[in-house]
């Protein structure tokens, strides 16, 4: 079982999709869905159950199912929220309680921190996890302060040698953008905000700069595509030995002008950007520059490249925002002409367009079997790992090992066929090669069926899969080797004739054993 708090939210729902794609099962969502369309974020996910946050600890304590990890993505993320008590309850007290439970029960915890902890960036953007370094940070709002408060609590627990989950990772997300954020209202990314403005026929609107060092639209942020964020979390999940506090950003600051321009181009529009004054209620706490330092994440072993801003925005617009359904892609034509000719038309009908969209529905994912639903979908290394994983159910381990050995013996049999062909290609006296062809078909089909039965017995655990498959292979190899030796090295050797004699003697011996048959005298 894997628990994702905030699983119906922006990053949480994308994480669920990533976990599902990698074959994870028994996914539990902890979230409040409310009265809006937030539920749509998880409507296509295979969710085991949905738990309200206030019931999560009781659920974790009462469940008998083993819990592999908790991804804590839930929080009050609105930087404009003024109810500090509410923020503290959700962003500090709750994760403290969750940390204690994970530490006491040996469950891994990966949680969301925030780049908002860095404040105006005057102290840099180093994801130093020491108590002193975290204590020096000065967030600009209650949200950032609450996240930093929990990071500090973790640092103090580590320094004091307190209880710690077997793996823990705090992730300082920078400016994340991508699908499933429509429910966030005023907290949506600027990419989505600009897209809506362009679709409404207006310009992309950005805040003016009120800082002498930055021109209008020149404010710099570290924008990161949400799939990159998910990839980092899945990478951590696959490496339980890695713990720590990590920045999750591209390490490359880009301007809001770059972002708005990318949205315009992805929408098939020329750059059309307008500026408005930054609202007074956020002007004082506005971040003009953020840029993740990614050295600690890279040192921990993460090597994947982050998506360039233009590429990420183009995917966001064309694959998600330009269609009402993410399962529909848009084939977009720009600046062209459509001509409709017909014998009934006096003149061709001509349509000149600046943009023409052709929606193309994608097949339902349910039409395909997810990779891993059957052992046939797994590679040999994956079968070996599953078959030797002590956490896997014995039935699945046996089935995986049986399939592993079945594939190997079937492949190894191919190396025996040339010797078998030579042996069966020499007919016995007063016979033709047709007998050899017939016998080869009988032998190969029979051996294949024996392998299939052996695989079934191995899967059921009645026989060790190794002996079930390699035992018949050893006997078949010995038979083929003997036949080849007879025809290749024995003068006048005829393996088919020898087989006939063997089978004749075996048949006579069997007939003598039947009831009512009198044994021949010696």
Secondary structure (DSSP) of 158-215: HHTT----SSEEEEEE-EEE-SS-GGGGGG--HHHHHHHHHHTTS-EEEEPP-STTS-
First to last CA, the chain: 72
What the block records as the tokens of 41 is: 């974020």
Answer whether residue 226 shows pLDDT above 70: yes
Our answer to whether residue 184 is catalytic in this structure is yes
Amino acid 365: pLDDT: 47
User: What does DSSP say about strands 254-255 and 220-221: parallel, antiparallel, or unpaired?
Assistant: antiparallel
Instruction: Determine the longest span between alpha carbons in the chain, in angstroms.
Output: 118
Three-state secondary structure call for residue 220: strand
**Per-residue pLDDT reduced to its tens digit, 376-421:** 567 888 889 888 888 778 888 888 899 999 999 999 999 999 988 8
Q: Is the pLDDT of residue 521 over 50?
A: no
Q: Determine which one of 44, 184, 193, 252 is catalytic.
A: 184
Q: Say how far apart CA 475 and CA 416 lie, in whole Å.
A: 12
Give residue 357's pLDDT band: very low, low, confident or very high (50, 70, 90). Answer: low
Cβ burial, residue 459 (10 Å; 0-12/13-18/19+): buried
* pLDDT tens per residue across span 467-516: 999 999 999 999 889 888 888 888 877 777 666 666 667 667 767 777 76
Given the residues 118, 143, 177, 447, the one annotated as active site: 143
**Closest by alpha carbon to 113, among 240, 282, 232?**
232
Could you give the 3-state DSSP secondary structure of residue 108? Answer: strand
Residue 206 has pLDDT above 90, yes or no: yes
Question: How are beta strands 175-177 and 223-225 bridged, if at all?
Answer: parallel
Residues paired with residue 109 on neighbouring β-strands, in sequence order: 70, 168
Q: How far apart are CA 48 and CA 27, in angstroms?
A: 5
- Domains with residue ranges and CATH for the chain: 2-322 (3.40.50.720), 334-367 (no CATH), 379-513 (no CATH)
Would the CA dihedral through 321, 288, 6, 32 be positive or negative?
negative
Q: What is the pLDDT of residue 508?
A: 72
Per-residue pLDDT reduced to its tens digit, 241-280? 999 999 999 999 999 999 999 999 999 888 899 999 999 8
């Amino acid at each position: 079982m894997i628990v994702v708090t905030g699983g119906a939210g922006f990053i949480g729902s994308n994480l669920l999709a990533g976990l599902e794609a990698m074959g994870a099962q028994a996914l539990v969502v902890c979230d409040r869905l409310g009265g809006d369309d937030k539920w749509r974020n998880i409507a296509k996910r295979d969710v085991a159950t949905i738990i309200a946050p206030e019931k999560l600890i009781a659920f974790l304590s009462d469940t008998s199912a083993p819990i592999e990890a908790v991804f804590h993505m839930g929080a009050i993320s609105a930087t404009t929220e003024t109810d500090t008590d509410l923020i503290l309850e959700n962003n500090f007290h709750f994760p403290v309680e969750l940390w204690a439970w994970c530490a006491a029960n040996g469950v891994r915890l990966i949680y969301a921190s925030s780049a908002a902890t860095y404040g105006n960036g005057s102290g840099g953007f180093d994801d130093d996890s020491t108590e002193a370094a975290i204590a020096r940070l000065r967030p600009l709002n209650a949200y950032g302060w609450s996240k930093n408060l929990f990071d500090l609590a973790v640092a103090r627990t580590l320094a004091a040698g307190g209880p710690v989950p077997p793996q823990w990772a705090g992730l300082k997300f920078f400016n994340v953008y991508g699908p499933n954020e429509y429910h966030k209202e005023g907290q949506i990314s600027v990419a989505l905000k600009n897209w809506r403005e362009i679709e409404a026929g207006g310009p992309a609107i950005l805040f003016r700069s009120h800082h002498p060092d930055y021109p209008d639209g020149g404010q710099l942020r570290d924008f990161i595509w949400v799939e990159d964020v998910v990839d980092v979390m899945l990478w951590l999940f696959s490496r339980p030995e890695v713990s720590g506090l990590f920045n999750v950003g591209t390490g490359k600051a880009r301007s809001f002008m770059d972002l708005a321009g990318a949205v315009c181009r992805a929408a098939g529009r020329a750059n059309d950007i307008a500026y408005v004054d930054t609202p007074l209620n956020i002007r004082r706490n506005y971040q003009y520059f953020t840029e993740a330092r990614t050295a600690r994440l890279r040192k921990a072993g993460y090597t994947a490249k982050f998506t360039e801003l233009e590429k990420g925005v183009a995917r966001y617009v064309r694959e998600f925002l330009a269609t009402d359904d993410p399962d529909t892609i848009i084939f977009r034509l720009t600046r062209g002409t459509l001509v409709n000719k017909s014998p009934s038309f006096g003149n061709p009908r001509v349509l000149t367009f600046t943009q023409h969209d052709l929606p193309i529905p994608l097949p339902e994912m349910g039409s395909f079997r997810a990779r891993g639903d059957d052992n046939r979908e797994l590679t040999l290394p994956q079968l070996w790992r599953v078959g030797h994983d002590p956490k896997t159910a014995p039935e699945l381990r046996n089935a995986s090992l049986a399939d592993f050995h079945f594939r190997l013996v079937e492949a190894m049999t191919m190396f025996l066929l040339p010797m078998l062909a030579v042996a069966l290609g020499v007919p016995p006296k007063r016979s033709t090669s047709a007998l050899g062809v017939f016998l080869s078909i009988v032998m190969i089909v029979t051996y294949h069926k024996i392998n299939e039965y052996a695989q079934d017995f191995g899967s059921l655990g009645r026989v060790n899969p190794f002996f079930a498959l390699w035992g018949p292979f050893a006997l078949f190899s010995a038979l083929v080797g003997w036949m080849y030796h007879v025809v290749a090295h024995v003068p006048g050797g005829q393996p088919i004739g020898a087989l006939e004699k063997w089978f004749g003697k075996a048949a006579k011996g069997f007939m003598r054993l039947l009831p009512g048959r009198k044994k021949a005298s010696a």
